[in-house]
């Protein structure tokens, strides 16, 4: 129950296997509307809050949700009559919400950030409707945090006109306010002698701003997960948004209509926070406070409740969600890496640690599309990877994994499918990685792991791939031969799949 | 174990709930290759058959398949040494295959046809590699059947050059042969005094030909499921295919590469069969003999094993596959139909029985996309509907269902999304149907079926929708109001959602 919106999110999970965001109702309740400095929730916003909570309560009962955790943040926390509202909600909706204090709010934000990005050291930023939380991370632990009444709804009401454009003077006043508020937080500054720190942001304001910047740049829409919002791109957005009335801001691609009137305030606050921390770019994630609350439950055996490896956990999460048995994908991933390492050792390719990681991920996920339909399952795997999210990877990495998985079967990859995310050399990279997985898939065609390993060598300029396999793997070998052409073209040399010695 | 290819298909199912094609290995073994009239399988094709069966056996063991049904058809059936091959396969792969006779083969084809199309009376055609089966259906029962040695591999070897174009003379000779073979089947002719009968075809040859015709016509690719292949379009394809060497025919879009050398033979046979039966068009389905074998198991409580209602079963199959609990989609479907019927009764729209059926299907499936991800689940529902198949619906109906489900949430439908499948009036049709489901979704927002029913009326030119609901459905009503605009535009009048009396 945030200051801007109330959100009911349903997670489904099997402990230790997977979790999934299965349902949601969001309502822009604006419970803090018009609260100003009086410190009291107003009547009409309270009525909206109660009505919405009743829908949420009915939804939970009807959907047979096993456990409900309801939390309230800034507006309700700081209002003199916040508890009165929660009492009414408890009575009329059956939802027993708890006000979380500033430290808890920062901690949940931290859990969301550390579990959905690979940040180890740097800053975390969470912009809500009522308050803003910032944290310092060292070695994936939160070592400092602070909370300020600088949420997007609050500052928009206080500093920006609710009709017409915002003037340079308005923006300046808001910036100055943020700056003075942050003054005391001595830990929230650039570190001496170090370059720009890494920063990760959560919350709807940041997600919308990153999404708007992503679309402005003509990049494929990935809902901003893992997108790097630069300070420059943010400034351009601020200028664009300030130059239009609040009613129009919600129509900027990437900005949700019901956020239009508070997005500019949030953007200015974010700019000032980035300036203060001395960061040139901020990584957006799709997560929020709600994920922090959920992860505390899902990862309750860990202290703090963190995934040991965010990228690996993301991949395994998807793999488990769409597949019962992982023996086959695990083996394809392993054989793929053996082939890639062999090619590298033979001096035929140069692959980065990142390439290995992408190949592993594509190997684990290459068949998930069969959950949609067996026919064209390679294309469905691509669709699922692109749409089901892989926190910890950048949009470019996500697309690469999706394309490598897509081309484990049929067709020929083309870097143009990456659009503006393409880099030089991607045609060859995709050819080698997809060609490798395609060969591994054929060697594991009977799904019984009978091809235990592969040895790669070169002989007279030809690549030799020797599977360590019993005699009856002959069809697998034979069909691997018929599927070596993609790798051959990528390496520009013949690839022979020969029975092992 | 067919004459053209061996195919291992894995079905997953929960009796009475859903079934799904989960995995497959297909190998163009060509076991009947070079068999000619000698009636004996040759050595090399037999070796290929054994090797492939060993992969299949290993696959079944590794994938822990619960039950294996292995059947062999024409080439192995008619070969003097067929049993010798099956003995070797049994010994070396562990797969105990059974030769099915011509009647059984026709029956399995019939079960596939009657369970994946809405045909009640007419002809069924199954073109295999070795033999061809035709059936007569009356009131969904098979009343006649025949089998001929006219399979695509067999006639291609006997009548068409394996190099270079096929001459008019070659085609004529093949046609004449088919005609004379069919002479005795007096039931396989047009019915006196009736127009062209309905015909449905299965098997890879027909599927590939329909797919090629579908792409030629610039239609969206639906893997030919439900596509009507006309006799004229088939003739055009025959001309195109005859004018190129066999090696090139596999590159025609829609034709599988390893079918290129036998597709023309199959096409000519199909043309002759359609001429004989006097049908101008043939509905292709994605099913095959394998589905017939599977349905006999899945529907074992029915005699004959038929879905009582193919379209309804297709929808429920998908609904069950992606959703645990169907109370919410059922209720949205019901409310949608009540609104549509109310609009119709008030003289505001004219909807056909087909519209009702599409709306019901979209209602049952509108939320299945949440299996992929909650965010953008309306788009994922569209993707799943288009890709997971709905036997019994035409490609156009499939697209309409997908779009109605897509627009149950956000955005505005546009008939141009139907491409060449669009008909006049589709913009309004989509607006009314999607606008209706969108309203129903909001009225069932709390998922507890608290809005039990709706009454539609008109008052001063305005549409009034009165939900029968308790007082605490106020948020549902309020949010239905905010989502009435799509329906308002489609009907070109105001829609008021008012609390019931």
Set of chain B residues whose Cβ sits within 8 Å of the Cβ of A21: 373-375
The verdict on B173 touching A (C-beta cutoff 8 Å) is no
The verdict on A388 touching B (C-beta cutoff 8 Å) is yes
Per the CB < 8 Å rule, is A373 touching B21? yes
Average pLDDT over chain A reads 94
For B303, residues 6+ apart whose C-beta sits below 8 A from its C-beta are none
Per the CB < 8 Å rule, is A447 touching B63? yes
Residue A298 dihedral angles phi and psi, to the nearest 5°: -65, -35
Confidence of residue A304 (pLDDT cuts 50, 70, 90): very high
Sign of the dihedral through C-alpha B184, B188, B189, B194? positive
Q: What is the pTM of this model?
A: 0.92
Question: Cβ distance B113 to B119 under 8 Å?
Answer: yes
Using DSSP bridges, classify how beta strands A122-127 and A199-202 pair: parallel, antiparallel or unpaired. parallel
Per the CB < 8 Å rule, is A223 touching B375? yes
HSE, CB side, 13 Å, CA atoms: give it for residue B191.
12
> Rounded to an integer, what is the distance from CA B456 to the centroid of its chain?
37
Q: Which of A127, A122, A128 is nearest to A142 (CA)?
A: A122
Set of chain A residues whose Cβ sits within 8 Å of the Cβ of B21: 373-375
Q: What is the mean pLDDT of residues B414-442?
A: 96
Instruction: Classify A188 as helix, strand or coil.
Output: coil
pLDDT beyond 80 at B379: yes
| Measured distance CA(A497)–CA(A467) in Å, rounded | 8
| Measured distance CA(A123)–CA(A198) in Å, rounded | 6
pLDDT digits (tens, 9 = 90+) for A313-348: 999 999 999 998 999 999 999 999 999 999 999 999
DSSP state of A73: -
Residue A350 dihedral angles phi and psi, to the nearest 5°: -120, 115
Set of chain A residues whose Cβ sits within 8 Å of the Cβ of B88: none
| Measured distance CA(A102)–CA(A146) in Å, rounded | 8
Determine the residue among A8, A9, A50, A62 to mutate to test chain B binding: the one whose Cβ has the most chain B Cβ atoms within 10 Å: A62
Least confident of A214-228, A355-369, B294-308, B405-419: A214-228
The verdict on B387 touching A (C-beta cutoff 8 Å) is yes
| Measured distance CA(A114)–CA(A285) in Å, rounded | 10
Per the CB < 8 Å rule, is B58 touching A383? no
Could you write out the DSSP letters of every residue in A368-413?
Answer: GGGGT-STTHHHHHHHHHHHH--TTS-HHHHHHHHHHHHTTSSS--
Residue A330 dihedral angles phi and psi, to the nearest 5°: -60, -40
pLDDT digits (tens, 9 = 90+) for B231-241: 999 999 999 99
Distance from CA of A381 to the nearest CA of B (A): 11
Q: What is the mean pLDDT of residues B13-38?
A: 88
Per the CB < 8 Å rule, is A374 touching B23? yes
- Residue A196, exposed/middle/buried by CB under 10 A (0-12, 13-18, 19+)? middle
pLDDT beyond 60 at B388: yes
Q: Where in chain B is the domain with CATH 3.30.420.150?
A: 103-291
| Measured distance CA(A323)–CA(A317) in Å, rounded | 10
Q: Which two tokens stand for residue A283?
A: 């990584």
Q: Write down the pLDDT at residue B77.
A: 95
Instruction: List the beta strands (DSSP E) in B162-255.
Output: 199-202, 228-230
% of chain A at pLDDT higher than 90: 86
Q: Write down the pLDDT at residue B472.
A: 65
Per the CB < 8 Å rule, is A22 touching B370? yes
Least confident of A10-24, A280-294, B292-306: A10-24
Nearest to B58 among A59, A376, A450 (CB): A450
Q: Write down the pLDDT at residue B500.
A: 63
Confidence of residue A113 (pLDDT cuts 50, 70, 90): very high
Helix (H) or strand (E) holding B497: strand B495-497
Q: Where in chain B is the domain with CATH 1.10.3210.10?
A: 311-497
Q: Which two tokens stand for residue A402?
A: 């999706």
Q: Which of A217, A244, A221, A222 is nearest to A232 (CA)?
A: A217
The verdict on A474 touching B (C-beta cutoff 8 Å) is yes
- Residue B251, exposed/middle/buried by CB under 10 A (0-12, 13-18, 19+)? exposed
Q: What is the mean pLDDT of residues B440-451?
A: 91
| Measured distance CA(A409)–CA(A401) in Å, rounded | 14
Could you write out the DSSP letters of every residue in B97-165?
Answer: EEE--HHHHHHHHHHHHHTTS---SEEEEEE-SS-EEEEEEETTEEEEEEEES--HHHHHHHHS-SSSP
pLDDT beyond 60 at B501: no
Least confident of A18-22, A374-378, B103-107, B475-479: B475-479
- Residue B82, exposed/middle/buried by CB under 10 A (0-12, 13-18, 19+)? buried
Set of chain A residues whose Cβ sits within 8 Å of the Cβ of B286: 375
Set of chain A residues whose Cβ sits within 8 Å of the Cβ of B54: 472, 475
- Residue B308, exposed/middle/buried by CB under 10 A (0-12, 13-18, 19+)? exposed
A103-291 maps to CATH 3.30.420.150: yes
DSSP state of A304: S
Count other Cβ atoms within 10 Å, centred on residue A228: 18
Helix (H) or strand (E) holding B324: none
Q: Which two tokens stand for residue A194?
A: 């170090």
pLDDT digits (tens, 9 = 90+) for A437-484: 999 999 998 888 989 999 999 999 899 999 998 766 777 887 899 899
Q: Write down the pLDDT at residue A489.
A: 96
A304: cis peptide before it, omega within 30°? yes
Distance from CA of A27 to the nearest CA of B (A): 10
Q: Which of B78, B74, B154 is nearest to B109 (CA)?
A: B74
What is the third-level CATH fold of A311-497? Hypothetical protein af1432 (1.10.3210)
DSSP state of B191: P
In the block, residue with structure tokens 């190129």: B244
B304: cis peptide before it, omega within 30°? yes
Tally of residues, chain B = 501
Question: Cβ distance B115 to B310 under 8 Å?
Answer: yes
Superfamily designation of domain B6-99: ATPase, nucleotide binding domain (3.30.420.40)
| Measured distance CA(B362)–CA(B332) in Å, rounded | 9
Q: Which of A422, A417, A469, A415 is nearest to A446 (CA)?
A: A469
Confidence of residue B167 (pLDDT cuts 50, 70, 90): very high
Q: Write down the pLDDT at residue A400.
A: 97
Nearest to B373 among A21, A328, A373 (CB): A21
| Measured distance CA(A260)–CA(A282) in Å, rounded | 21
Q: Write down the pLDDT at residue B496.
A: 95
Query: Count H helices, E strands: chain B?
Result: 19, 13
Confidence of residue B125 (pLDDT cuts 50, 70, 90): very high
The verdict on B230 touching A (C-beta cutoff 8 Å) is no
Distance from CA of B184 to the nearest CA of A (A): 39
Count of pairs with CB atoms under 8 A, one residue in A, one in B: 107
Residue A467 dihedral angles phi and psi, to the nearest 5°: -80, 140
Set of chain A residues whose Cβ sits within 8 Å of the Cβ of B446: 55, 58-59, 62
Q: What is the mean pLDDT of residues B82-89?
A: 97
Q: Where in chain B is the domain with CATH 3.30.420.40?
A: 6-99
Q: Write down the pLDDT at residue A471.
A: 65
Distance from CA of B46 to the nearest CA of A (A): 14
Set of chain A residues whose Cβ sits within 8 Å of the Cβ of B478: 51
Helix (H) or strand (E) holding B282: strand B281-284
| Measured distance CA(A323)–CA(A320) in Å, rounded | 5
Question: Cβ distance B206 to B128 under 8 Å?
Answer: no
Q: Which of B25, B106, B112 is nearest to B73 (CA)?
A: B106
DSSP state of B91: H
Confidence of residue A388 (pLDDT cuts 50, 70, 90): confident
Q: What is the mean pLDDT of residues A158-174?
A: 96
Nearest chain A Cα to B47, which residue? A475
Determine the residue among B62, B63, B411 to mutate to test chain A binding: the one whose Cβ has the most chain A Cβ atoms within 10 Å: B62
Alpha helices in B251-376 (DSSP H): 260-277, 289-298, 310-322, 327-345, 353-365
The verdict on B179 touching A (C-beta cutoff 8 Å) is no
Sign of the dihedral through C-alpha A381, A386, A390, A393? positive
Question: Cβ distance B358 to B396 under 8 Å?
Answer: no
Confidence of residue B224 (pLDDT cuts 50, 70, 90): confident
Per the CB < 8 Å rule, is A375 touching B62? no
In the block, residue with structure tokens 């003289």: B347
Q: Which of B10, B81, B11 is nearest to B299 (CA)?
A: B11
Q: Which of A376, A371, A328, A326 is nearest to B20 (CA)?
A: A371
A 352-371 residues with CB < 8 A to B: 370-371
């Amino acid at each position: 129950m945030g200051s801007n919106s109330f959100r009911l999110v349903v997670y489904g999970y099997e402990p230790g296997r997977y979790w999934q965001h299965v349902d949601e109702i969001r309502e822009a309740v604006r419970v803090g509307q018009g609260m100003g400095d009086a410190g009291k929730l107003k009547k009409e916003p309270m009525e909206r809050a109660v009505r919405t909570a009743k829908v949420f309560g009915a939804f939970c009962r009807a959907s047979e949700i096993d456990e409900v955790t309801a939390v309230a943040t800034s507006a309700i926390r700081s209002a003199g009559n916040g508890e009165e509202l929660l009492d009414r909600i408890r009575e009329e909706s059956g939802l027993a919400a708890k006000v979380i204090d500033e430290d808890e709010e920062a901690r949940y934000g931290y859990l969301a950030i550390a579990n959905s990005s690979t940040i180890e050291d740097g800053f975390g930023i969470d912009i809500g409707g009522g308050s803003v939380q910032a944290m310092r991370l060292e070695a994936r632990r939160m070592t400092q945090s602070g909370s300020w009444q600088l949420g997007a709804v609050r500052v928009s009401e206080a500093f920006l006109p609710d009709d017409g454009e915002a003037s340079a003077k308005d923006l300046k006043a808001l910036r100055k306010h943020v700056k003075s508020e942050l003054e005391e937080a001595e830990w929230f500054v650039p570190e001496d002698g170090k370059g720009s720190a890494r920063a990760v942001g959560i919350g709807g304001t940041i997600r919308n701003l990153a999404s708007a910047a992503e679309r402005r740049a003509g990049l494929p829409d990935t809902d901003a997960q893992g997108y790097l919002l630069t300070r420059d791109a943010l400034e351009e957005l601020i200028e664009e948004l300030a130059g239009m009335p609040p009613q129009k801001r919600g129509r900027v691609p990437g900005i949700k209509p019901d956020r239009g009137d508070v997005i500019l305030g949030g953007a200015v606050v974010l700019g000032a926070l980035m300036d203060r921390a001395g960061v040139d770019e901020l990584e957006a994630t799709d997560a929020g406070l709600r994920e922090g609350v959920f992860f505390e439950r899902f990862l309750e055996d860990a202290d703090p409740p963190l995934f040991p490896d965010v990228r690996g956990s993301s991949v395994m999460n998807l793999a488990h969600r769409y597949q019962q048995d992982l023996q086959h994908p695990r083996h394809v991933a392993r054989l793929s890496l053996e082939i890639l390492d062999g090619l590298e050792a033979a001096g035929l390719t140069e692959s980065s640690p990142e390439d290995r990681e992408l190949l592993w991920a594509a190997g684990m996920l290459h068949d998930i599309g069969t959950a949609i339909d067996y026919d064209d399952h390679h294309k469905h795997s691509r669709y699922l990877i692109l749409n089901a999210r892989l926190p910890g990877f950048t949009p470019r990495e996500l697309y690469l994994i999706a394309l490598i998985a897509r081309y484990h079967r049929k067709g020929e990859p083309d870097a143009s499918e990456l659009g503006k995310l393409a880099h030089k050399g991607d045609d060859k990279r995709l050819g080698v990685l997809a060609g490798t997985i395609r060969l591994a898939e054929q060697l594991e065609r009977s799904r019984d792991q009978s091809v235990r390993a592969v040895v790669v060598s070169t002989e007279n300029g030809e690549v030799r791939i020797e599977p360590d396999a019993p005699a009856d793997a002959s069809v697998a070998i034979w069909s691997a031969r018929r599927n070596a052409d993609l790798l051959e073209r990528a390496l520009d040399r013949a690839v022979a799949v020969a029975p092992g010695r």
